[in-house]
Amino acid sequence: MTNYREILRLKSLGLNKTEIANAAPCARNTVSTTLERAEACGLAWPLPEGMSDKELAKKLFPSASGKPVFKMLDSAYVHREMHQHSWNKVDQSRLDHPKGNMLPLSLSTL
């Protein structure tokens, strides 16, 4: 987990984003995003007393729920698309092939 507290502390010491990323082992983009969000929230080092790392993360990234949201697969749509595109290509390749019933290697696994 990213140590947002350390990122804010290192920024207060005057380090640039690359130096903070190296010292707090995280990506430079993470440092940049954290500093932008902290400024937007009005957070700076020293943090309010008693603020936990979890509270800090929620304040910086309020929309992150912790669990990913997965959408159900629309099997009817997938079936239509596969039938429309893949099978038409197979049928056309059979017609174009001199022996008529042989598939090109790239389509033989369908």
* Whether pTM exceeds 0.85: no
d(CA 8, CA 35): 7
Rounded mean pLDDT, 64-90: 69
The per-residue pLDDT for 107 is 46
Decide if 104 contacts 93 (C-beta within 8 A).
yes
Q: How do residues 1-40 score in pLDDT, each as one tens digit?
A: 789 999 999 999 999 999 999 999 999 999 999 999 999 9
- Reference 32, options 42, 18, 46; nearest CA is 18
What are the residue boundaries of the structural domains of the chain, listed by start? 4-60, 75-107
Q: Percent of the chain scored above 70 by pLDDT? A: 71
- Reference 9, options 28, 29, 35, 33; nearest CA is 35
* 6 CB-side CA count, 13 A: 12
87 versus 43: which is more confidently predicted?
43
